[in-house]
Amino acid sequence: MKTIRMTRNRGITLGLLLIAFLILAFLPQVTSGYVITLLIDILKFAILTVAWVVFSGPSGYMSLATAAFYGLGFYIAAVFSGTFPFPVLVIMAGAVAFVVALGVGALTLRLRGVYFAIFTFALVLLVQNVVLEIERVVTETRGRFVDTVSTEGVYYAIFIVFVLTMLTAVLIRRSRYGLALQSIGEYEEAAAHSGINVVRTKVLTFAVSAIFMGMAGAVIATRRTYIDPYIAFNLNTSFLPVLMAMFGGMTNLAGPVIGAALFTYIGEILLTRFPDLYMLIFGVVLILAILFMPNGVLGLAQRVWRKIRGGRRAPA
């Protein structure tokens, strides 16, 4: 009985995913303008949030380095804009982010808890200032121009990166790496003494999650035409994915996606309807969400669902 229900549930999930995929894939053929622009934003944040959750979720290492890898993507797109075709830029950005994350990870993942968070936070400032200084001394400019890509092109690029991010996230979760990360998050010492190469597991997953952050940066940079280090390495890019993941819930991968989508959408509505009170309302919503939805929107939904079903099953 149980297995039958489980396979049916899995079938439904796969069906829903397929429908969502098809809608997202064909949307630009039917609509354009605002919906597409909003979806680009949502997909961007979904990528950043899921990529963040891949590493920080199970391992418990709170990374605030997202903006560093995302910003590097911006700069790859800007520096090589016109030299290489758009898809090559995106792949390059992913590769550079991966390599930088490997180096940073090897240096910092010995740090635990809040020290790791603070280091990654400082990393964003460090990279920002290094880029700023290089631009000042070497190129004697402050910003750069990026060749634009059509809205439809950007949409498909970010959509493809999103699909890749999701596939990778699912694969990591289901692989031995997923269990290794989880046990590191539970008790790192015990994990090491049970045969897990904790350093390699942490550094590699950290670097893989950075690939998608870098790719997203390179895609979004083309929406900007002009970028400078303050735009590229904006600390909000580090904090928002963390909030979105908490808002959506991290028990499974739908959580971060839902969190990113709702968060972006609510932000958009508040910004257009109440531009003056935007941040205030947003702050209140966030505090309420964290206080009353410890497992995020997804956790709340599951609780409500269980109540409804439970009520139906056990007529008292």
Shortest Å distance, C-beta 182 to other proteins? 7
Print the binding letters for residues 172-191 with other proteins: x by CB under 8 A, - otherwise.
----x--xx-xx--xx-xxx
Shortest Å distance, C-beta 304 to other proteins? 23
Cα–Cα distance for residue pair 220/234, rounded to 1 Å: 13
Is 195 near other proteins (CB under 8 A)? yes
Is 2 near other proteins (CB under 8 A)? no
Q: Which of 195, 199, 206, 217 is nearest to 172 (CA)?
A: 206
Helix (H, G, I), strand (E, B), or coil: what is residue 226?
strand
Helix (H, G, I), strand (E, B), or coil: what is residue 270?
helix
Shortest Å distance, C-beta 179 to other proteins? 6
Is 133 near other proteins (CB under 8 A)? no
| Closer Cβ to other proteins, 46 or 198, answer by number | 198
Is 252 near other proteins (CB under 8 A)? no
The answer to whether the beta carbons of residues 172 and 54 sit under 8 Å apart is yes
Of 32, 197, 225, 236, which lies in the binding site for other proteins, with binding defined by CB under 8 A? Answer: 197
Is 35 near other proteins (CB under 8 A)? no
Helix (H, G, I), strand (E, B), or coil: what is residue 269?
helix
Of 9, 141, 194, 236, which lies in the binding site for other proteins, with binding defined by CB under 8 A? Answer: 194
Is 92 near other proteins (CB under 8 A)? no
- Binding-site size, other proteins (CB under 8 A): 18
Q: What is the DSSP string of 19-65?
A: HHHHHHHHHHHH--THHHHHHHHHHHHHHHHHHHHHHHHHH------
Shortest Å distance, C-beta 99 to other proteins? 24
Shortest Å distance, C-beta 197 to other proteins? 5
- Listed in sequence order, the residues at least 6 apart from 216 whose beta carbon sits closer than 8 Å to its beta carbon are 44, 47, 48, 51, 70, 73, 158, 161
Q: Which of 93, 66, 98 is nearest to 78 (CA)?
A: 93
| Closer Cβ to other proteins, 179 or 285, answer by number | 179
Shortest Å distance, C-beta 245 to other proteins? 17
Query: 266 exposed, middle or buried (CB, 10 Å; 0-12, 13-18, 19+)?
Result: middle
| Closer Cβ to other proteins, 122 or 192, answer by number | 192
Is 171 near other proteins (CB under 8 A)? no
Shortest Å distance, C-beta 98 to other proteins? 24
Q: What is the dihedral of CA 60, 61, 66, 67, to 10 degrees?
A: 130
Q: Which of 160, 172, 159 is nearest to 51 (CA)?
A: 172
Shortest Å distance, C-beta 282 to other proteins? 31
Is 193 near other proteins (CB under 8 A)? yes
| Closer Cβ to other proteins, 157 or 180, answer by number | 180
Is 113 near other proteins (CB under 8 A)? no
Is 112 near other proteins (CB under 8 A)? no
From the CB of residue 151, how many other CB atoms can be counted at a distance below 10 Å? 16
Q: Which of 204, 241, 223 is nearest to 149 (CA)?
A: 223
Residues forming contacts to other proteins in the complex (CB under 8 A) are: 176, 179-180, 182-183, 186-187, 189-199
